[in-house]
Amino acid sequence: MRESYCYQGPCPQSGRLLRLERTREAEAAARQLMSELPELREGKMFGVLLTAQGTTLRAFSGLQERPGWSPPIYKHRDSDVPDQLDQLKAEIQKLATDPAFHRLQELEKLWEVRLSDFQDQCRHSKQHRDSLRQQGHDAAELILQSQREGTVGKQLRGQRNAELNPLRAEVSALQALILERKRRRRELSSSLQREMHEGLSQSLSAGQAWSLASLFPAGPPTGTGECCAPKLLVQAARLGLTPTGLAEFWWGPTLGDRHQGEFYWACQERCQPLIGPLLARLEPLRILYQDRDLLAVVKPPGVLTMPGRHSWNQDCMWRRLQPEFPEVLPVHRLDLETSGVCLWALNRTTQQELQRQFAGRSMMKSYEALLSKLPHLTHGCLDHPLGPDPNRPGCYRIDPQGKSSRTEFLQLDGPRYQFQPLTGRSHQIRVHTAQGLNSPIQGDRLYGGGDGPLRLHARSLQLIHRGQPLRLEAQSPF
Residues marked as catalytic: 335
Which neighbouring-strand residues pair with 258? 255
Helix, strand, coil % (nearest 5) of the chain? 40, 25, 40
The total of other beta-carbon atoms located within 10 Å of residue 254's CB is 11
CA distances from 121 to 108, 118, 126, 187, 270 (A): 20, 5, 9, 53, 64
Largest CA distance in the chain: 117
- Give the Cα separation of 31 and 37 in Å (integer): 10
**CA 433, CA 452: separation in Å to the nearest integer?**
17
Cross-strand pairs, 419: 367, 409
> CA 348 to CA 333: how far, in whole Å?
17
Task: State the DSSP string of 233-289.
Answer: HHHHHHTT--EEEEEEEEESS-BTTB-TT-EE---TTTTHHHHHHHHSPP-PPEEEE
Residue 14, classed as helix, strand or coil, is coil
- What is the DSSP-derived secondary structure letter of residue 466? T
Buried b (16+ CB within 10 A) or exposed e, 328-345: bbbbbbbbbbbbbbbbbb
**Helix, strand, or coil here: 47?**
strand
- Name the 3-class secondary structure at 345: strand
DSSP result, 192-225: HHHHHHHHHHHHHHTTSS--HHHH-TT-PPTTTT
**Residue 137, phi then psi, degrees to nearest 5:** -70, 165
- What does residue 205 show for φ and ψ, rounded to 5 degrees? -120, 5
Handedness of CA 274, 279, 280, 284 (dihedral sign): positive
N- to C-terminal Cα distance for the chain?
A: 40
